[in-house]
Amino acid sequence: MTDAKSSLPILDLQRFAAGHPERAAALDELRSVARSVGFFYLEGHGIPQEQIDGVLDLSKRFFTLPEQDKLAIEMRKSPHFRGYNRAGLEYTRGTQDWREQVDFGPERERLDIRPGDAPWKRLVGPNQFPDALPELKPAILAWIEAVTRLGIRLIEVFAEALGQRADVFEPIYRDGPNQLLKIIRYPGRDKTESYQGVGAHKDGGFVTILLQDEVGGLQVDDGKGGWIDAPPKRGTFVINVGELLELASNGYLLANIHRVVTPPAGGDRRSVAFFLGANLASTIPVLDLPPELGAEVRGVTQDPLNPLFHEVGRNVLKSRLRSHPDVAAAHHADLVELLKVPVPA
């Protein structure tokens, strides 16, 4: 059930600038929103509409490529979980998601893995880009750079809303944050086997920066047994709190549950989702909140099917192994057993 009377708030990033007359009120508003629903629209972010439109256009062009051109960069070929997935090959809580997508990350050299090294080091490596659409690579790398800058600014604002120095999280991302970008297409309902575009879940990083096209589908848990629709609003991003901020604030902030339902028959939906996390080698600290905030700490949400760790690399690896069982089986069968991560049959 969706609540037609509820909607996500809209926040303007410019109000958080030093010296802005509404800065204190903006921090109060952010703290309230991030503690209650954990989602909001962001305007005033500074990313040009031309760049936004260009990324959406390239995503559309990629998904209209012949299947063999998309499969040339199939994720199954990458031990780093980069590349293209056909619809039905990613799972949320053991159930198939019906979307096709391409995953990109920072362009880094593959690490030389030695016996005894941390398993998460296998996640570090290069992307796969399609030869059939050469302009995609520079646009994607430029987009990752732009939304990373925005994400770090948001992390600073969240820190200040929690009564901390703006740079309190810098030690756990400055040597290379974990960055994941997905360009996604949800087929219309006549092309899928269920209403589940993406099943109900939380995001694992600091923040998620979501760009939507003109078709809706995102829904946010309203905490009352229903869902809040988050339709697209041109020129804005949808921002949500990730599990790292919930961990760091000991549950003061809420990493809320959300899902995507498949679009109506005869159409499709595209989105570009960016997930900004901490360095894979880092451990998430628990912040010492001011007394007035500390008195309202409620503890981190515990899900027995999805245990959370303060070790960032362990969390990310667990998530990737579960979400992409074909890649896990092809490249990391030993880790599936080592980490006792269940994957669908």
Q: How far apart are CA 14 and CA 33, in angstroms?
A: 17
For residue 344, being part of any structural domain is answered with no
* pLDDT given at position 250: 94
* pLDDT given at position 193: 65
* pLDDT given at position 328: 93
Task: Please give the backbone phi and psi of residue 137, each rounded to the nearest 5 degrees, phi first.
Answer: -60, -55
Q: Which of 211, 168, 252, 270 is nearest to 51 (CA)?
A: 211
Q: Which of 199, 206, 211 is nearest to 284 (CA)?
A: 206
* pLDDT given at position 112: 92
Please state whether beta strands 90-92 and 95-97 pair in parallel, antiparallel, or not at all (unpaired): antiparallel
Tens-digit pLDDT profile for residues 178-218: 999 999 999 887 766 667 778 888 999 999 999 999 999 99
**Residues facing residue 211 across a β-bridge:** 272
Say if CB 205 and CB 199 are below 8 A apart. Answer: no
For residue 334, being part of any structural domain is answered with yes
Q: How far apart are CA 275 and CA 312, in angstroms?
A: 13
Tens-digit pLDDT profile for residues 111-132: 999 989 999 999 999 999 999 9
Say if CB 150 and CB 47 are below 8 A apart. Answer: yes
For residue 343, being part of any structural domain is answered with no
Say if CB 149 and CB 231 are below 8 A apart. Answer: no
Q: How far apart are CA 188 and CA 261, in angstroms?
A: 10
Question: What's 322's domain CATH number?
Answer: 2.60.120.330
**Could you tell me the two tokens for 16?**
């958080």
Residue with tokens 């007359």: 21
* pLDDT given at position 3: 46
* pLDDT given at position 203: 93
For residue 161, being part of any structural domain is answered with yes
Q: Which residues contact 141 (CB under 8 A, 6 or more apart)?
A: 107
Report the number of distinct structural domains present in the chain: 1
* pLDDT given at position 340: 62
**pLDDT tens, position by position, for the chain (345 residues)?**
444 447 999 999 999 999 999 999 999 999 999 999 999 999 999 999 999 999 999 999 999 999 999 999 999 999 999 999 998 767 776 677 788 999 999 999 999 999 899 999 999 999 999 999 999 999 999 999 999 999 999 999 999 999 999 999 999 999 999 999 999 999 887 766 667 778 888 999 999 999 999 999 999 999 999 999 999 999 999 999 999 999 999 999 999 999 999 888 788 999 999 999 999 999 999 999 999 999 999 888 777 667 788 899 999 999 999 889 899 999 999 887 766 655 554
For residue 306, being part of any structural domain is answered with yes
Range of the domain at 211: 10-338
* pLDDT given at position 1: 42
Opening angle at CA 159, ends 211 and 302, nearest 5: 75
Q: What is the 3-state secondary structure (H, E, C) of 46-57?
A: CCCHHHHHHHHH
**What letter does residue 263 receive in the DSSP assignment?**
P
* pLDDT given at position 189: 75
**Could you tell me the two tokens for 58?**
């390239």
Q: What is the 3-state secondary structure (H, E, C) of 281-324?
A: CCECCCCCCCHHHHCCCCCCCCCCCCCCCCEHHHHHHHHHHHHC
* pLDDT given at position 263: 86
For residue 25, being part of any structural domain is answered with yes
Q: Which of 286, 244, 278 is nearest to 174 (CA)?
A: 278
For residue 110, being part of any structural domain is answered with yes
For residue 225, being part of any structural domain is answered with yes
pTM over 0.85: yes
Please state whether beta strands 100-104 and 83-85 pair in parallel, antiparallel, or not at all (unpaired): antiparallel
